[in-house]
Amino acid sequence: MRIGDFHASYRHDEALFDTRAQRVWLGLLLAALAAFPFVGGSYLTYLACLLGIHLIAAAGLNVMTGYTGLISLGHAAFMGVGCYAVAVAERAGIPFFLALPLAGAASAAIGLVVGIPSLRIKGLYFAVATLAAQFVLGFVFREWESVTGGVRGANVPAASLFGFELAGDRRVYFLIAPLAVLMLLGARNLFRTRVGRAFIAIRDRDISAEVLGISLFRYKLAAFAIGSFYAGVAGGLWGYFFRVATPELFGLPLSVFYLAAIIVGGLGSILGTILGATFMTLIPEFLRALVGWAEAFGLEQAGVYLAPLRQVVFGLLIVGFLVFEPHGLAEMWRRTRRFFHLWPFRT
């Protein structure tokens, strides 16, 4: 059993990671992340890059939806904005370390416009407004050919630093992984500040928050801008990773995927974002492996059922978590930890 952790100084009280064990594990994790692409094979490195992008995007959505209570069905479209912004910026010769923040900013600017109705409408109505934004932006991606390349899409050149090209999964990994760590830390830190606390107050009861002096308009827009900024950066990284931006990549299914990830992980929890995004990224890979085995054992038809199987499992996961574990994987993790902390006194 672990004994209590007493905060003896203000610095200790304010620390982001407050126990020694946490800091040690975090250090080990960072070391493992740095070594990962050299130890894991190319497939695992690819998955890690994909996961990094998903983590950033899901964290942004959790800031909006999980912490502030603004349901967004248009997150993928904001990623698309980021991705196309990177494509355009690279065409203009802007290096990646400026292009990525620009992508975030472009996405945040559009997020501000979409967020404006949030002052008058909320809940279901707002969800439908973001759904509309998703389709309108998708239409723009398809039809504004001079910028987006239409249905065929736009190519994104490799990110390069002083002539050193970040091409190939392993090199891009060292662009994605540090950014993912940084942005997750940023999201975690946000909720210790006035702004983050205001978001939570708005989620819990917006009218009460306004009575307490929190400007709903300003903070709802801020939440939307931050969330879309994350989406924009994730979209930019997506561009550098896959090297192409096409409209159908950033459709409604991807938006729903991120919502599913934060629900499965846990709304309003950064740990939940990480667990949920990881889980939802790995599930399709697991299913593919499963179907591969089934084929190896003589079920030749199994391949046909991969896509439907994926959808069914995806839907069942969403419904199942909502019905049986509404606080998601983060809550399961907390429960497991508590069990071991209190063992053997309380089981």
Two structure tokens written together for 275: 């667990």
Which is closer to other proteins, CB of 172 or CB of 263?
A: 263
Q: Are strands 159-161 and 154-155 parallel, antiparallel or unpaired?
A: unpaired
CB of 249 to other proteins, least distance (A): 17
Nearer to other proteins, 27 or 123 (CB): 123
Q: From the centroid of its chain, how far is CA 132?
A: 21
Q: Report the nearest approach of other proteins to the CB of residue 82 (Å).
A: 21
Q: Among residues 238 and 314, whose Cβ is nearest to other proteins?
A: 314
CB of 222 to other proteins, least distance (A): 20
List strand residue ranges (DSSP E) for the chain, in order. Answer: 154-155, 159-161, 164-166, 244-245
Q: 102: burial class by Cβ within 10 Å (0-12, 13-18, 19+)?
A: buried
Return the number of the residue (188 or 210) whose C-beta is nearest other proteins: 210
Retrieve residue 188's tokens: 């975690």
Shortest Å, Cβ 220 to other proteins: 15
Rg of the chain over Cα atoms, rounded to whole angstroms, equals 21
Min dist CB 236 to other proteins, Å, is 26
Task: State the residues that interact with other proteins by CB under 8 A.
Answer: 65, 69, 71, 116-117, 120-121, 123-125, 127-129, 131-133, 135-136, 139, 142-143, 205, 207-208, 211, 252, 256, 259-260, 263, 267, 305, 307-319, 322-323, 326
Tokens describing residue 300:
């030749």
* Rounded least distance, CB 59 to other proteins, Å: 17
Residues whose CB is less than 8 angstroms from the CB of residue 124 and which lie 6 or more positions away in sequence, other chains included: none
Nearer to other proteins, 91 or 205 (CB): 205
For other proteins, give the closer residue by CB, 156 or 317: 317
Pick the closer one to other proteins by CB: 298 or 308. 308
Tokens of 38: 């050299």
Cβ closer to other proteins: 240 or 321? 321
Token pair, residue 288, equals 């593919």
Q: Tokens standing for 167? A: 């091409």
Task: Give, rounded to a whole angstrom, the gap between the first and last alpha carbons of the chain.
Answer: 12
Q: Residue 88 Cβ, how far from other proteins at the closest point, in Å?
A: 22
3-state secondary structure 44-103: HHHHHHHHHHHHHHHHHHHHHHHHCCCCCCCHHHHHHHHHHHHHHHHHCCCCHHHHHHHH
Smallest distance from the beta carbon of 128 to other proteins, in angstroms?
5
φ/ψ of 327, rounded to 5, equals -95, 5
